[in-house]
Chains A and B, each alone.
Chain A
Amino acid sequence: MLELLWLIPILPLAGAALNGCLGRNPSKTVVTVINVGAPLFSLLLALGCLWEYAQHVSPDAFQRIYYAWTTGSSLHIDVGFLLDPLSAVMLFVVTFVGFWIHVYSVGYMGHDEGYRRYFAYLNLFMGAMLLLILGNNYVVMFVGWEGVGLCSYLLIGFYYDQPFPPYAGKKAFIVNRIGDFAFLIGMFALVAHFGTLQYTELFPRIAAQPGLVTGPYALGLTLAGFIALCFFVGAMGKSAQIPLYVWLPDAMAGPTPVSALIHAATMVTAGVYMVVRTNVIYQLAPGISQFVAVIGAVTAIFAASIALVQTDIKKVLAYSTVSQLGYMFLAAGLGAYSAAVFHLGTHAFFKALLFLGSGSVIHAMGGEQDMTKMGGLKKQLPKTYRTFWIGALAIAGIPPLAGFFSKDEILHAAAANGQWLLWLVGLITAGLTAFYMFRAVHLTFEGKFRGTHEQEHHLHESPAVMTVPLWILAAGAVVSGFVGVPKLLSLGRDLNWIHHWLEPVIAVPQGLEAGEHNIGAGLEILLVIIAVAVAAGGILLARSFYGGDKGTAKDREWASRFSGLYTLLANKYYVDEIYDRGIVRPLAALSTFFWKIVDVLLIDGTVNTAASTARVAGEVGRFTTTGNVRNYALYFFVGVILLFLWLIL
């Protein structure tokens, strides 16, 4: 079974290709069979591979090299796949969540004209994402990395006949390019010093000889610091961290299942995956790791505060995603790599669930996304309501749902490292998360309906093809936390399965074998209780503000009482405007300058002048070429005489 690993990314890619070969107007059934079948087989194969891989538990990863991509004296790149504990976790999350979102899309996109195009992109995305996580070196990862970026662009701009989606797609692509550039620089630095980008060669070498990367390099950093910084900038773009997060909220212009799959569960976590993959370098660059943690924490609280006042249900979830990704980077920066991957996995379940739930709501509302026009939907959409509620509880961190365990592990990591400020930021973020999620729950599902009569008339629960994935993901959001039960809550037994599973991936560089940080059991219990209390407090506060029939009254009240702060939040701290004024417009002006002055006037002018000079010379000179031999004889004769005179005189 493991030998079939290569088929897992190939199947969806083949599905996308086959989709293009179906002729002009294939029936929806054919498209559905091919493009949902491909991820299904990928999922089954992945489960088979994971089962077999888990059977012989050994620290050795399963690696197969399929062919040499490029061979040079100082650089050799193979195309190969690697199944190790880290990619195993990712493989499960991506194929599982991905498949169920495909199923959901059959219902959600059922009436869309672009049904076939949508599934082609979605399959292409799955293929690229699987390439990203299964690649055994950074170049294969980068191919997948760019592939998912392309699919993200295509799917954000899916509704290309409207003005905003294509703009949002472009924005996502361009902002990602900034990060990709840094990622490439980091890879170049690695190639220059090690001549390889293959994980299994690179990491053991660095771990065995940390001296290789701790010497001073560029920008006042060590080599490890430089590479870590470059890679983190790459991750900032892909995983929407400050300052490159601005594309993600706009990415909500795409179809909702896309937001669930690409912009919540899988693609945006690629940056986290990459940082965890590179953990040996991050461990040797403590300064940059601290920077990662701080950026993560700031992003988490920053995005959560914006989510507090958004009225678009998808925007709330988008900022929530940015915030949760910040959480993951907080964990990675603190060195709690397994906690980062754990939160990545649980987040994939409950955030995909929340997005699909919001999709179900939007579907019922006929495309309406504004929560101020919703309300009371729990009567008409009972299944969506219940699953959404489970998802909200999970993300809020209420035990024993998934979010509680993964968030707790991150907060515990902050406390154990003595980073109390980061811990506090994480805690406040957790409270904000609980608050805005339940604000969304109350505004959407509770109280009275605030939309039009026509919308109310059309309200309907989604078909089974959409609600079944909701229930599956809800089950995931409930149970996926149990793979990482902290020692404290498992009555002395060690049940933190995910931690042990990922242990072989977390390198132990020479001289860094620090023991586990420990805080007293009493303090740990206290911290857990505080975290749960804050989450519960957020939920209750949201209930008292928005519960019952209050609707959006509280929002209006806050808007008038703290108008400055409220406008600041509602306008997302004006970051888009600042970027527009500070970067986009000067850049556009500079480009116009280079276009109109440098290019058209200087470069084109020079070239055109040279060309026209030659042409004029030709126009004049051609009259000497009469074609009459006697004229030529005369020229010749005169030339000879002149030569003669020159020789004599």
Chain B
Amino acid sequence: MSVPIHWYLLLAAAMFCIGAAGALTRRNGISIFLSIELMLNAANLTLVAYSRLLDVRTGQLVVFFVLAVAAAEAAVGLALFIAVFRQRHTIDLNRINLMRW
């Protein structure tokens, strides 16, 4: 017997909400990154679940792209954070306002 689709969906929704809440509320750049990863993986989970349910491979294929983008994003983002940290000795996003008018 297989796991029903709505379990997957509920888990994914919960993960996404946790991630969104984290991304909006945390101040530490690394934590926000983790939250974003969580949201991405929630999306991945739904893709894989539907792929299984509908018996098509496209969903699993897209997941690989998402993983690749997430990895690249993490690499660039972490490099940026290191650069910012060297300048300002903090990655508290409330105190980084380079883009302010």
Q: Assess the B24–A630 pair: CB atoms within 8 A.
A: yes
Question: With contacts A633-B24, A637-B20 known, is A628 near B98, CB below 8 A?
Answer: no
Cβ of A629 under 8 Å from chain B: yes
In the complex the two chains form, what is the Cα distance from A622 to B100 in whole Å? 9
Closest to B96 in A: A629
Contacting residue for A630 out of B20, B27, B98, B100, CB 8 A: B27
Contacting residue for B101 out of A625, A629, A630, A633, CB 8 A: A625
CB neighbours of B24 from chain A (8 A): 630, 633-634, 637
CB neighbours of A23 from chain B (8 A): none
CB neighbours of A637 from chain B (8 A): 20, 23-24
Write the nearest CB–CB distance from B44 to chain A, whole angstroms: 18
In the complex the two chains form, what is the Cα distance from A626 to B97 in whole Å? 7
Q: What mask results when residues 83 to 101 of chain B are scored 1 for a CB within 8 Å of chain A, else 0?
A: 0000000000110111111
Q: Assess the A629–B20 pair: CB atoms within 8 A.
A: no
CB neighbours of B96 from chain A (8 A): 629
Question: With contacts A634-B24, A637-B24 known, is A629 near B93, CB below 8 A?
Answer: yes
> Which one of A625, A629, A634 has the greatest number of beta carbons of chain B within 10 Å?
A629
Write the nearest CB–CB distance from B83 to chain A, whole angstroms: 15
In the complex the two chains form, what is the Cα distance from A625 to B101 in whole Å? 7
In the complex the two chains form, what is the Cα distance from A627 to B24 in whole Å? 15
What size tier do the contact residues of chain B reach?
10 to 19
Q: Is the interface of A mostly helix, strand, loop or mixed?
A: helix
Q: Assess the A628–B93 pair: CB atoms within 8 A.
A: yes
Q: What mask results when residues 610 to 639 of chain A are scored 1 for a CB within 8 Å of chain B, else 0?
A: 000000000000100111111001100100
Closest to A627 in B: B100
Q: Assess the B93–A627 pair: CB atoms within 8 A.
A: no
CB neighbours of A628 from chain B (8 A): 93-94, 97, 100
Write the nearest CB–CB distance from B42 to chain A, whole angstroms: 14
In the complex the two chains form, what is the Cα distance from A622 to B99 in whole Å? 12
CB neighbours of B98 from chain A (8 A): 627
Closest to B25 in A: A630
CB neighbours of A634 from chain B (8 A): 24
CB neighbours of A630 from chain B (8 A): 24, 27, 32, 93-94
In the complex the two chains form, what is the Cα distance from A637 to B32 in whole Å? 14
> Which one of A625, A630, A634, A637 has the greatest number of beta carbons of chain B within 10 Å?
A630
In the complex the two chains form, what is the Cα distance from A627 to B98 in whole Å? 6
CB neighbours of A627 from chain B (8 A): 97-101
In the complex the two chains form, what is the Cα distance from A625 to B23 in whole Å? 19
Write the nearest CB–CB distance from B16 to chain A, whole angstroms: 11
CB neighbours of A633 from chain B (8 A): 23-24, 32
Closest to B35 in A: A633
Q: What mask results when residues 15 to 56 of chain B are scored 1 for a CB within 8 Å of chain A, else 0?
A: 000001001100100001000000000000000000000000
Q: What mask results when residues 60 to 101 of chain B are scored 1 for a CB within 8 Å of chain A, else 0?
A: 000000000000000000000000000000000110111111
In the complex the two chains form, what is the Cα distance from A628 to B27 in whole Å? 10
Write the nearest CB–CB distance from A631 to chain B, whole angstroms: 10
Write the nearest CB–CB distance from A629 to chain B, whole angstroms: 5
CB neighbours of A629 from chain B (8 A): 93, 96, 99
Write the nearest CB–CB distance from A626 to chain B, whole angstroms: 6
In the complex the two chains form, what is the Cα distance from A626 to B96 in whole Å? 10
Q: Assess the B101–A622 pair: CB atoms within 8 A.
A: yes
In the complex the two chains form, what is the Cα distance from A637 to B23 in whole Å? 10
Write the nearest CB–CB distance from B98 to chain A, whole angstroms: 7
Write the nearest CB–CB distance from B78 to chain A, whole angstroms: 15
Q: 29 pairs across A/B with beta carbons < 8 Å?
A: A622-B101, A625-B99, A625-B100, A625-B101, A626-B97, A626-B100, A627-B97, A627-B98, A627-B99, A627-B100, A627-B101, A628-B93, A628-B94, A628-B97, A628-B100, A629-B93, A629-B96, A629-B99, A630-B24, A630-B27, A630-B32, A630-B93, A630-B94, A633-B23, A633-B24, A633-B32, A637-B20, A637-B23, A637-B24
Q: Which 6 A-B pairs have the closest CB atoms?
A: A627-B100, A627-B97, A627-B99, A625-B101, A629-B93, A622-B101
Besides A625-B100, A627-B100, A628-B94, 11 other A-B contacts (C-beta < 8 A): A627-B97, A627-B99, A627-B101, A628-B97, A628-B100, A629-B96, A629-B99, A630-B32, A633-B24, A633-B32, A637-B24
